[in-house]
């Protein structure tokens, strides 16, 4: 085998298959993995990665695959992006940890300043940093409860907020996230999602009545005065890239404000330029009280945040929030590099351009193959939903078949959805347009082979 290349944007930006997928080197590692790694932690792709950058992943056999996954919307700035990798190297050489609660450092403050600048709204903000998305969501709920002295939290059908105990309770889907992992945290109330394709009566009825139905349920079954927070992904992630109809999020924000309810926007997947704005809420000018971020924030290093109104965030007593590793200095250095990259390279604009290239081809695909019931998303957060033609009956088997055909042909394609029938596309925002077009051609071939 040839020497393993370094990652980063210098990698040849091409698809190149030299073995079947997975090849012999990956198969050998898979066998080792099986006797060492817990079965509950599984992987979508059967190949082991040795380098990555721009829009490609290189595997242990030397195959170069086109990346339409970004490690689940994480490496939006690309893998080993220069500003990220350089700052990480530099910080690791200075110090790797002090614990911000023991002795602080500037980069943590600088990340919080960037969060205040970039998140929706020009009000006074504060942030706290954590390690994972789930931990950020847990803390957002803690803060909302503390600030309001209320307990109930309203979450939506198809929501995904993480895998810790409280966030499992907020997450809607049983398999694989919740099954036999209970009992779950209490005081969580679930309401229907404004899901245009699946709303009874269809998209127009959804736009007309979803908010009223949800507000009515909150009033009748919880009581507005008992609600600490409503938590929503402005575009749902794992649940199926569900985009609520125009006007829904602004109505929800107004409702929360009128009743002293903290609106938490979970922008962990949709944030940091993914949808063509810095945050998905920006599209309709929605200003949530708290925003949770993670995934795209630090180019792959583990970092997450809760950012929100100063009076809500600062309602918590000193030492009420924290954690040993939260806002680790190497992760903060990476975040500053990633955010600088997004601003300098206008990655929100790149996301919009990706949408302009992909959407027409996905719509054409839907015109050709009636198994595609819906094409949706915004910017570089796009998906197609597969059903039995002419019905709303989910077709997870066809979805898996298309995904597997993509993998075999060197395209990393991910699935999602409560019913496992959604193919989602999350390319790195720095992907070249040739690779993007080639990836779409592989997808088209996969549908042709159904």
Ligand X SMILES: *Cc1c(COP(=O)(O)O)cnc(C)c1O
Chain residues binding ligand X by CB under 6 A are 132-134, 137, 160-162, 233, 237-238, 266, 268-269, 294-295
CB nearer to ligand X: pick between 238 and 289: 238
CB nearer to ligand X: pick between 73 and 430: 73
CB nearer to ligand X: pick between 166 and 372: 166
257/201 Cα distance (integer angstroms): 29
For CA atoms 249, 255, 258, 259, give the dihedral sign: negative
Nearest CA to 147 among 261, 253, 223?
261
- For ligand X, the nearest residue by Cβ is 133
> From the CB of 326, what's the least distance to ligand X, in Å?
13
Nearest CA to 291 among 261, 267, 255, 257?
267
CB nearer to ligand X: pick between 137 and 373: 137
Tell how many helices (H) and how many strands (E) occur in the chain.
Answer: 13, 15
> From the CB of 172, what's the least distance to ligand X, in Å?
12
Nearest CA to 410 among 6, 11, 14?
14
> From the CB of 27, what's the least distance to ligand X, in Å?
28
CB nearer to ligand X: pick between 15 and 283: 283
CB nearer to ligand X: pick between 9 and 327: 327
Nearest CA to 295 among 269, 276, 329, 332?
269
> From the CB of 427, what's the least distance to ligand X, in Å?
16
> From the CB of 135, what's the least distance to ligand X, in Å?
7
> From the CB of 339, what's the least distance to ligand X, in Å?
18
* N-term to C-term CA, the chain: 34
CB nearer to ligand X: pick between 11 and 140: 140
> From the CB of 302, what's the least distance to ligand X, in Å?
7
- What tokens does 439 get? 């990836």
Helix (H) or strand (E) holding 378: strand 372-378
> From the CB of 129, what's the least distance to ligand X, in Å?
13
CA angle 340, 6, 111 (to 5 degrees): 20
CB nearer to ligand X: pick between 108 and 160: 160
CA diameter of the chain: 66
> From the CB of 270, what's the least distance to ligand X, in Å?
7
DSSP string, 59-107: ETTS-EEEESSHHHHT-TT-TT-HHHHHHHHHHHHH-S---TTTS--HH
> From the CB of 260, what's the least distance to ligand X, in Å?
24
- What is the signed CA dihedral for 376, 138, 142, 307, rounded to 10 degrees? -60
CB nearer to ligand X: pick between 297 and 371: 297
CB nearer to ligand X: pick between 371 and 412: 412
Residues listed for the chain:
450
Q: Kindly report the backbone phi and psi dihedral angles of residue 438, in degrees, each rounded to the nearest multiple of 5, phi listed first.
A: -65, -40
Characterize 23-44 residue by residue with b for buried, 16 or more Cβ atoms within 10 angstroms of its Cβ, and e for exposed: bebbbebeeeeeeeeeeeeeee
Q: What is the CB neighbour count within 10 angstroms for residue 417?
A: 23
């Amino acid at each position: 085998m040839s020497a393993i290349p370094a990652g980063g944007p210098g990698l040849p930006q091409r698809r190149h298959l030299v073995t079947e997928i997975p090849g012999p080197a990956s198969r050998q590692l898979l066998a080792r993995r099986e006797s060492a790694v817990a079965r509950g932690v599984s992987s979508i792709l059967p190949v082991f990665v040795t380098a990555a950058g721009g829009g490609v992943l290189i595997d242990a056999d030397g195959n170069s695959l086109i990346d339409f996954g970004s490690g689940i919307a994480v490496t939006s700035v690309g893998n080993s992006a220069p500003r990220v990798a350089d700052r990480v190297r530099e910080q690791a050489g200075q110090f790797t940890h002090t614990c911000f609660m023991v002795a602080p450092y500037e980069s943590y403050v600088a990340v919080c300043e960037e969060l205040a600048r970039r998140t929706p709204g020009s009000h006074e903000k504060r942030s706290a940093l954590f390690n994972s998305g789930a931990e950020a969501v847990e803390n957002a709920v803690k803060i909302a409860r503390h600030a309001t002295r209320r307990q109930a939290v309203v979450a939506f059908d198809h929501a995904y907020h993480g895998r810790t105990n409280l966030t499992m309770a907020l997450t809607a889907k049983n398999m694989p996230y919740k099954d036999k992992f209970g009992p779950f945290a209490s005081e969580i109330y679930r309401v229907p999602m404004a899901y245009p394709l699946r709303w009874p009566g269809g998209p127009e009825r959804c736009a007309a009545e979803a908010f009223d139905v949800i507000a009515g349920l909150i009033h009748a079954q919880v009581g507005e005065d008992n609600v600490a927070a409503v938590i929503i992904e402005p575009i749902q992630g794992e649940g199926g890239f569900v985009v609520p109809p125009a006007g829904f999020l602004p109505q929800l924000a107004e409702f929360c404000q009128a009743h002293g309810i903290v609106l938490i926007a979970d922008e962990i997947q949709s944030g940091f330029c993914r949808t063509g704005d810095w945050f998905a809420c920006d599209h309709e000018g929605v200003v949530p009280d708290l925003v949770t971020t993670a995934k795209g924030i630090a180019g792959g290093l583990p970092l997450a945040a809760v950012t929100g109104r100063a009076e809500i965030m600062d309602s918590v007593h000193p030492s009420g929030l924290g954690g040993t590793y939260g806002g680790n200095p190497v992760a903060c250095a990476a975040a500053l590099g990633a955010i600088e990259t997004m601003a300098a390279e206008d990655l929100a604009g790149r996301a919009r351009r990706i949408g302009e290239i992909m959407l027409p081809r996905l719509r054409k695909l839907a015109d050709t193959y009636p198994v595609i019931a819906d094409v949706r998303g915004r910017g570089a957060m796009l998906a197609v939903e597969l059903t039995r033609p002419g019905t709303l009956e989910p077709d997870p088997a066809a979805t898996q078949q298309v995904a597997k055909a993509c993998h075999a042909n060197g395209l990393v394609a991910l699935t999602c959805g409560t019913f496992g029938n959604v193919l989602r596309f999350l390319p790195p925002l720095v992907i070249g347009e040739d690779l993007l077009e080639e990836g779409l051609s592989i997808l088209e071939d996969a549908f042709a082979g159904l």
